[in-house]
A and B are shown apart, each in its own frame.
Chain A
């Protein structure tokens, strides 16, 4: 039996995620982390987390279009946006935020891009939804919601206001 995702209160989940991030930071003695959201859904989630946590460093955003591993198959996403990472990445503690963690390929691309800006001290991954079915050895440190979906189904976040999860058949 699959969940009806549209009825899920996304803001409530983000509320819980914020608490999880807070305790993760404390546990790992991270001071003044740099949060980076992945375009487009991850950035929406990151904006809310950034506000709730009251982080001092401005929010970074990255578009991983130029780092995708399927460029030669599907070409360039014409809606590509500039990546904006404020300040240095070198020596920073990064909190990387995305909406849906699935195969892990987006996160791989995002990590590659971040490392092209410099060598961070650590990267923490926070995702709104973990739908399983990983194809790469990656896991999230903070997970808002775990979903068990059939491979034919896609889940995506629509926004920016209100934030709603939607599923549709692939």
Chain B
């Protein structure tokens, strides 16, 4: 199948490219960028005039809910939503049922994703058996089975001794470890940011120190063990400066922030709105601004933190609701808003959503190099759409943006040179 994408503005920071060009795809790979020979015969020709042609996005942190939680979502439903949102590669968390701590579960997930035929799924294996934080998982076997990293997320981390050994062992096999920095003792029964709003609503708070104490611990252990560590889902301003400082001396530490954390604050919790019950919690406007600065400066990549839920999960008094938002489909418009607000340019957007995460994971995706896999999304930055049942593919409708107008629409997505989504 030959595909020709014509007249689009091609943005590819890895190849320092930002120019209106044609791209020719054949055999699942990018064959020509710019000088497409006259002899190239396209089976499909896509007119990308006034549109942007970007490397497909790579998500570092999503829950696909399968196996075990099919009442919330399935790999098929969520990878379909992913490609409609411009994602071509999605890393899924190991908190499945059974937990992704054996090669057979990894294989099951890869098979399901293959059968669905939408985005590439790259599983994160469990760092400890059953994510219980006591016994190390068979990381080497999980890596061979296709896990691109080991993770304890979204659970909190094991005790410092187990964590230290897990990092030592992972580093032996050069395995990336993805951790959610959260001190459970400090978090306690907290469910929103510990501050003015938690005080007013009488909701148990999660102090900023629940994040920063965990980060300090992880940074020290990463330094001592030499492990490659990725911190996922950062929420506070203090964490931004801690991570930036650590990266200055240790280039094996990376981090991401969920896109909605760059827009929402504790104020949006309003009067117990369970769709704003997130983990990590939405914090203050100062925290949000520092997170944006961290993204602009390249301290962070951006992940979705996608957590689709069935409706009942949010139908309870606030502290009894499950945390998390269904967020894959709002990431791109939320990032585009930072570009249209003049806070960053297109090349930075692509780097935070595609090439940055690919580099962290060590995957040859997130770029538009010749002979690389044709994982591409084409976006119309002007089109607006309403977040409602007509424009939503994820099984989870637990988004704080329901009913909200978004600017920026993915119009085409290609995975391995196959058109898997077209608006």
In the complex they form, whether A and B have CB atoms below 8 Å apart is answered with: no
